[in-house]
Chain A
Amino acid sequence: NAGVTQTPKFRILKIGQSMTLQCAQDMNHNYMYWYRQDPGMGLKLIYYSVGAGITDKGEVPNGYNVSRSTTEDFPLRLELAAPSQTSVYFCASKGERQYFGPGTRLTVT
């Protein structure tokens, strides 16, 4: 099992550009999550999904969108990148506990 995978590992965006952060899991988990982590601020939940076709907002959803067309994939979309979205993004899936992907470091300049 690869567990939870994320691509890309690093990305630099210009203000106003858009991009999709990819997340996939091979553990057949229904629950998947997107978090952002800023220095000294802990993990903040952006969006989550409890199964294919079902998504809901977390604590900090503004500026992001998600979709869940399959159990395996849960991409996160940034439409108009802003400097405030500079962060490390973690995807996670849950069986008994949450398993995290390796993260994507995003810089918006």
Chain B
Amino acid sequence: GQNIDQPTEMTATEGAIVQINCTYQTSGFNGLFWYQQHAGEAPTFLSYNVLDGLEEKGRFSSFLSRSKGYSYLLLKELQMKDSASYLCAVRAAPNSGYSTLTFGKGTMLLVSP
């Protein structure tokens, strides 16, 4: 089975930096995804890590440590529009069948002026 943990809520100020952590336990690992979801909307893809290290994409970066079962999403120069839920998802490498994503419960980020 798989277990994914991330904080329920975080708050930050416009212009600041925030780090959203995700820890996971899985019987097999084949990649970690971060999605952003604004209220009432569908999730949209932010980042993908399959090897250890940092992936940077504009104001957003994602880090992965497979040995620690740990990832974080780093958001820099926060803007009001970054207020959203951030979903961590793990893709397992199954012994048989096809790999699917397991999602964490999401971290609601509130950016204040």
Chain A 26-48 near chain B by CB (<8 Å), digits 1 or 0: 00000101010000111111001
Chain B 77-113 near chain A by CB (<8 Å), digits 1 or 0: 0000000000101000000011011111110000000
Instruction: Provide the residues of chain A in CB contact with B89, threshold 8 Å.
Output: 43
A56 touches B105 (CB 8 A): no
Q: How far is the CA of A35 from the CA of B106 in the complex (A)?
A: 15
The number of chain B residues with a CB under 8 A from chain A is 19
B48 touches A97 (CB 8 A): yes
Q: Which A residue's beta carbon lies closest to that of B33?
A: A97
- Point out residues on B near A: beta carbons under 8 Å: 8, 33, 41-45, 48, 87, 89, 97-98, 100-106
A-B contact pairs, 7 of them (CB 8 A): A33-B100, A40-B8, A58-B100, A97-B48, A98-B33, A100-B44, A103-B42
